[in-house]
A = this chain, B = another copy of it.
């Protein structure tokens, strides 16, 4: 009953085997090797478009550097008030962008609307030096609340961004889970909907450390290698990331992993609902946020279940109120979650 986080899982057998397979040989460093060349092409195939791809060490680095590429002096980056970049990255986006600000937008289910974004844009009018200037807008797919933006929702936000000449960034730490949830093509969920730059995460979905910044318009990546290098994010043996992606993309391994994780989350949610429990937000990827009785939570813990409690801000609305004898949890599934774990968890409720 291991539901603490998808980054508590190890790596899939396929990824482990690929690392071993690619472990020897003498190859150029810093991404000039043949395998990395092939993986970059693979990205272009997957997105049906020539893309520019840069490996970095962590999802935080991917987000912060992608946003830095579009940063401006006095710049404002718009995102959900609970976005990972705003709450959980120790100010990395602010630091690496030399002080761009993250403007937190309200919005239910972990998502903000195009309208909320447009309203916030008006607080940074063009040419008003004291207010600074709009730099970019960022959303997570899936979100910190375990939900996904629909393609039309993405499109509306992208249109608002492009009207202001700023790019749309997608934090795809759980990109595969979001994709499996919407069941559309990678292109449809990104550049065709107006996404300009993507943090593509593999780590939470079966890799050790495989994160990339993907620019859908390679011209917009000009100079990015310097941002990457000056923050210490150019791997010398870039092959070790490529080796992971080689297995990750083979035979849709990444999508299989994500589908499995999502299915486990749905099974959890269904089980919880069947016992009369409620969840804070719709279950759309591999995260479930149930509200349980404290006695249930104690029993689960006693039986070895692992998970985090979750804090809910009161502004989320009255239906999110947690009573005295209740506890909100976050349960995260992964490629490694077994149906047995889910069954046992539900049976304990």
> Could you tell me if A236 and B87 are in contact, using CB atoms closer than 8 angstroms?
no
Do residues A99 and B230 form an inter-chain contact, with CB atoms below 8 A? yes
In whole angstroms, what is the CA distance A100 to B91 when docked? 7
Contact at B61–A203, with CB atoms within 8 Å?
no
Contact yes or no, B57 A57, CB < 8 A: yes
Instruction: Identify A236's interface contact among B11, B19, B203, B231, CB under 8 A.
Output: B203
A97 to B99, CA, bound (A): 8
**A19 near B223 (CB under 8 angstroms)?**
no
A304 to chain B, nearest CB (A): 11
Is the CB–CB distance between A129 and B73 below 8 Å? no
Q: Is the Cβ of B132 less than 8 Å from the Cβ of A226? A: yes
Q: Are A231's CB and B95's CB within 8 A?
A: yes
Near B by CB (< 8 A), chain A positions 87-126 give 87-92, 94-102, 123
In the complex, whether A4 has a CB less than 8 A from a CB of chain B is yes
In the complex, the answer to whether A19 meets B20 with C-beta atoms within 8 Å is yes
Count of chain A residues with Cβ under 8 Å from any Cβ of B? 79
Q: Is A186 an interface residue (CB 8 A)?
A: no
Interface centre among A59, A225, A240 (most CB of B within 10 A): A240
A34 to B99, CA, bound (A): 34
Shortest A181–chain B CB gap in Å is: 22
Flag whether A168 is at the interface (Cβ < 8 A). no
Quick one: given A73-B227, A92-B231, A99-B99, are A20 and B20 in contact (CB under 8 Å)?
yes
Q: How far is the CB of A140 from chain B (nearest CB, A)?
A: 15
Residue of B nearest to A207 (CB): B237
Residue of B nearest to A236 (CB): B7
- List of B residues within 8 angstroms of A8 by Cβ: 26-29
Q: Does A320 contact B (CB under 8 A)?
A: no
Per the bound structure, the CA–CA distance linking A233 and B95 in Å amounts to 13
**CA–CA, A19 and B131, complex, Å:** 31
Residue of B with least CB distance to A223? B73
Confirm or deny: A208 has a beta carbon within 8 angstroms of a beta carbon on chain B: yes
Q: Is A133 an interface residue (CB 8 A)?
A: yes
Measured in the bound complex, the distance between the Cα atoms of B93 and A132 in whole Å is 12
Within 8 Å by CB of A94, from B13, B100, B204, lies: B100
In the complex, which residue of chain B has the Cβ closest to the Cβ of A238? B209
Cross-chain pairs A/B with CB under 8 angstroms, 16 sampled: A8-B29, A10-B23, A10-B25, A17-B20, A19-B20, A26-B306, A72-B226, A74-B90, A87-B130, A89-B230, A90-B229, A92-B229, A92-B232, A95-B231, A96-B231, A97-B99
- Ranked nearest first, the 4 interchain pairs of A and B with the lowest CB-CB distance are A61-B232, A57-B57, A95-B99, A74-B90
The residues of A with any CB-CB pair to B shorter than 8 Å are 2, 4-5, 7-11, 13, 15-17, 19-20, 22-30, 56-62, 64-65, 72-76, 87-92, 94-102, 123, 129-133, 203-204, 208-209, 223, 225-227, 229-237, 239-240, 306, 336
